[in-house]
Amino acid sequence: MKECTSAISKLFEYLDQELDIKDTETFERHIELCRNCFDRFDFEKALRERVKNSNTGAEPSEACKVRIQNILKKFDS
């Protein structure tokens, strides 16, 4: 339980790559073994990636959709 608390407290620093090597290893080892913390980590990571993608605007969803449609058209013919 104490390990979970300390893992979760490092989660955001881990995502920001602000942990030193030792803490990174401790964190990674813990989420490999702990399903609860892995789920939490996975959720935060996905959330963060979604926010990052919507902020940059480098890949507007409309352009992305068109590209996917074009790829699908190739497979249709």
Q: Which residues contribute to the site for Zn ion (CB under 5 A)?
A: 4, 34, 37
CB of 35 to Zn ion, least distance (A): 8
Tokens describing residue 69 = 């449609």
Residue 69, phi then psi, degrees to nearest 5: -60, -40
Cβ proximity to Zn ion: between 2 and 73 the closer is 2
Q: Which is nearer to Zn ion, 12 or 68 (CB)?
A: 12
Nearest approach, Cβ of 26 to Zn ion (angstroms)?
A: 11
Closest listed residue to residue 31, CA positions, set 18, 47, 16, 44: 44
